[in-house]
Structure 1
Amino acid sequence: MENRNPDRATESCLVLMLKSPGRSKQRLAASIGPLAAIAAEHLCYCAFEDMAAWPGPVCFAPADEHDGGWLAARISPADAVVPQRGRNLGERINHVNRTLRMRGFERQIFIGIDCPELDERYLEQAADALGDHDVVLGPALDGGVVLMGVRHEWPDLGELAWSSTRLMADLEQFCNALGWRMARLAPLADVDTFEDLDALKRVVGEDARPARRALGAWLANDGHRPETQP
C-alpha cells in the first residue's frame, strides 16, 4: 500500500507501548542475558526517533510505574503519557485506546520497540489507510504484528493470542468478524530472538537516523554477542 495523503498523519495519534529496557525483551534475555537490556535501550531510542519525527500527536504508554519513571527522565513533559492497565497486552491496548478517545484522539496507531525498520513513510501509510479503513495492521514476518491502527474503540482484545505466531491471523479474523474494513501493510521484521537482533546488521547498517546508526555500530562491533564480552 502506497501512501497517498501524508497530511492524514496529523489526524492520527502515534502510541508507543513500552517497558523500560531492563524489564523488556525477556525472550532475548534467555539467550544473551544482560546484553538484552542494552539491546532494548537501543530499540527504545529508535522508537523515540519515530515519535519525535511524527507530525501528529504522540502518546507514550509505559507498562507500570517503574517504566513510567524511566520514561519521564527521557521525554519532554509536554508529551502525552497514558500508563497501561490490564492483565495482558490486549487489555492494556484497550485501556490506552479508551483513554485517548476520551481525550479526543479518534485515530490511533499503536507501535512497540520491536521494529527499528519502521520509518516515517511506513507510519504515514498507516495513517493514510485510516482515512478509508477501520483498522490497519502491519504484519511481522514471524506471524505477529509491528503496528495496529484503529479509528474506533477496540472491542475486547484480551482473548487474542498475544506474543504468538498466529496473532496477525487472529487479528484479521477478529476484524473480519466485526465487519471492519481492514488495510494490511507490508510485513517487517521484529526483534524477539538473537537471530532477529543479529539480522538487524543488514537492516540498520545504512540507516542515516542517529539511533539506528548507534544500534548498527553496536551490532557491527558484536556488542550483542555474549562470547565477545570481557
Structure 2
Amino acid sequence: MAATIGAKQALVFAEHFLQCALEDLNTWSGNVVISPASIDDQAWAQQLLTKDLLVLPQQTGNLGQRLNTLDQQLRDLGHSHILYIGSDAPALTITNFNQITDALLQDDIALAPALDGGVTIMANRVPWPDLEHLPWSTDQLGDALAALCDINQQTVTITDITYDIDHQQQLSQLGLDLLCDNRPARQMLLNQIQLFAASVAAINESPNDA
C-alpha cells in the first residue's frame, strides 16, 4: 500500500490496524500471546496491552518455519486450541472468531479465508504439519494450507470469507464495513479512512496548473 499512498500514510494506517488487532486481544477471554518478528521488539510488544500476556519473539526461517516453531513453543507451555491472526485484518468481528472457536470443537483445523486467497485467521487443536514449503504471500496460500492439512489427515473447517488490507482500493470497502462497527479502535480507523478519502478527493479536484 505504501507504493500508492506513500510510506508516511501507510504507516498511519498500519498503526490503526495494529490498534484494531490489540482491541481484539483486549476482549479475548483466553490467553494472549504476541509474537513480534524480532527479539529486538520484545520490550515494545510487552507494553502493548495492559492485560496479562506472553511475548514470544519469532525465530529464524520463513513464515512457515516460524509458525511451526511458535506452535511447538505454545504447545510445550500447555496451550492446545490456538488461533493465529495478523495485524492487517481490521474487518474481523466477534462472529468470525466465534466461528473459528466453534469449528475447533469438532475439527482439527479452522481457517478464515481471505478474498485475496490467503487467510485472516488460522487455528489448530493439533500441531501444524510442516508449513515451510507453502506458497506464502500468494493467492494460493489458503487452498494450499487446507490441502496440506487434509493430506496429513487433519480435519479442516473453512469459515466465512474475510479480507485483509493490502491495497489502497480496499480502504473504501473497509470504510463501509466499519460504519456500523462501534468498537473504539475501528471508529478511529474509520475516521482516518474518511480523512484520507477527503484529502484524495481534494487533490483530484484541484485545478491543473496552466
Partner of 1:53: 27
Structure 1 residue 87, shift from structure 2 partner: 2.0
After superposition, the Cα gap between the structure-2 partners of 1:76 and 1:95, relative to the gap in structure 1 and judged at 3 Å, is: farther
Structure 2 unmatched ranges of 5 or more: 204-210
Matches within 5 A, 1:89-168: 89-168=63-142
Q: Is the 8 A contact 1:54 1:120 kept in 2?
A: no
In the alignment, structure 1 residue 64 sits paired with structure 2 residue 38 = yes
Alignment deviations for residues 68-108 of structure 1 (CA, whole Å, 9 cap, x no partner): 33323322372111111132211111111111000000110
After superposition, the Cα gap between the structure-2 partners of 1:70 and 1:223, relative to the gap in structure 1 and judged at 3 Å, is: farther
Residues paired across the two proteins, number: 202
Partner of 2:184: 210
Partner of 2:2: 29
TM-score, normalising length: structure 2 = 0.90
Counterpart AA for 1:98: Q
Matched residues in 1 for 2:112 and 2:70: separation? 19
Q: CA RMSD in A?
A: 1.9
2:165 partner SS: coil
Find the structure with the greater CA-based Rg: 2
Structure 1 residue 221, shift from structure 2 partner: 1.3
Identify the match of residue 61 of structure 2 among 87, 91, 94.
Answer: 87
After superposition, the Cα gap between the structure-2 partners of 1:202 and 1:227, relative to the gap in structure 1 and judged at 3 Å, is: closer
2:33 partner SS: strand
Structure 1 residue 225, shift from structure 2 partner: 6.0
Structure 1 unmatched ranges of 5 or more: 1-27
In the alignment, structure 1 residue 186 sits paired with structure 2 residue 160 = yes
In the alignment, structure 1 residue 198 sits paired with structure 2 residue 198 = no
Counterpart AA for 2:151: A
After superposition, the Cα gap between the structure-2 partners of 1:219 and 1:35, relative to the gap in structure 1 and judged at 3 Å, is: same
Structure 1 residue 203, shift from structure 2 partner: 1.3
After superposition, the Cα gap between the structure-2 partners of 1:156 and 1:34, relative to the gap in structure 1 and judged at 3 Å, is: same
Partner of 2:208: none
Identify the structure with bigger relative contact order (alpha carbons < 8 Å, sequence gap 6+).
1
Moved over 3 A (4+): 223-229
In the alignment, structure 1 residue 176 sits paired with structure 2 residue 146 = no
Alignment deviations for residues 153-182 of structure 1 (CA, whole Å, 9 cap, x no partner): 112111101111010110111011111111
After superposition, the Cα gap between the structure-2 partners of 1:86 and 1:155, relative to the gap in structure 1 and judged at 3 Å, is: farther
State the percentage of identical aligned residues: 34
Identify the match of residue 44 of structure 1 among 15, 18, 25.
Answer: 18
